[in-house]
Amino acid sequence: MSDAKTMIDDQGNVTGIEAPIYLKYNFTAGAAPSRFLAQLKKGVLTGQRCPRCQQVYVPPRGSCAACGVPTEEEVELSHKATVQSFTIVHIPIPGNAIEPPFVVANLVPDGANVAFIHLMSDCVNEEVHIGQRAEAVWKPEQEWDYGMDNILYYKPLDEPDVPVEKIGQVPVSGWEG
């Protein structure tokens, strides 16, 4: 019943106890995230628009945090995105097999007004920069499931950089420069 182990010092005193905690949770995504995930399974990236401020959120969580109202309208987003910011991670992430160093970026997909985090790969880490254009690289279609990891990573796209003040405002039709 209990996995508790005790630590005992040379005098026989109990100095510590290891008592692992195992709790099982049946996690459910919310209604808005579920719609987002269902679309992802079909290879489509979507956001939701706030009826009050018109901003498009991705991944959608069911509300516009600024206005405090539910978001309903689904908006299809592009597979292209802009790097809003990034970091080069040199330590492993617990529970993730990915090998450092790797780039984690805040990316704003065309058509959305907020960034989400994802990997950048197929790139020279030191050349990643703010305003850089990038494109999603998806897993093979037969592997698509309900998760953001249907997108393996974003890779650099040969398009002109987006000026900083325009990041988060590129329409879904894209960016010409």
Contact yes or no for 118/84 (Cβ under 8 A): no
Q: Which is nearer to another protein, 32 or 133 (by Cβ)?
A: 32
Six-digit token pair at 22?
């195992």
117 touching another protein, by CB under 8 A: yes
Six-digit token pair at 125?
């880490």
x/- map, 49-88, another protein, by CB under 8 A: ----x-xxx-x-xxxxxxxxxx-------------xxxxx
31 touching another protein, by CB under 8 A: yes
x/- map, 142-171, another protein, by CB under 8 A: ----xxxx--------------x---x---
Six-digit token pair at 15?
């100095």
String of b and e for 15-29 (b: at least 16 CB within 10 Å)? Answer: eeeeeeeeeeeeeee
> What's the DSSP call for residue 21?
-
Q: What angle do CA 104, 36, 157 make, to 5 degrees?
A: 40
Q: Under the rule (CB under 8 A), what is the footprint of another protein? A: 1-2, 4, 15-17, 19, 21, 23-34, 37, 53, 55-57, 59, 61-70, 84-91, 93-96, 101, 104-106, 113-114, 117-119, 130, 146-149, 164, 168
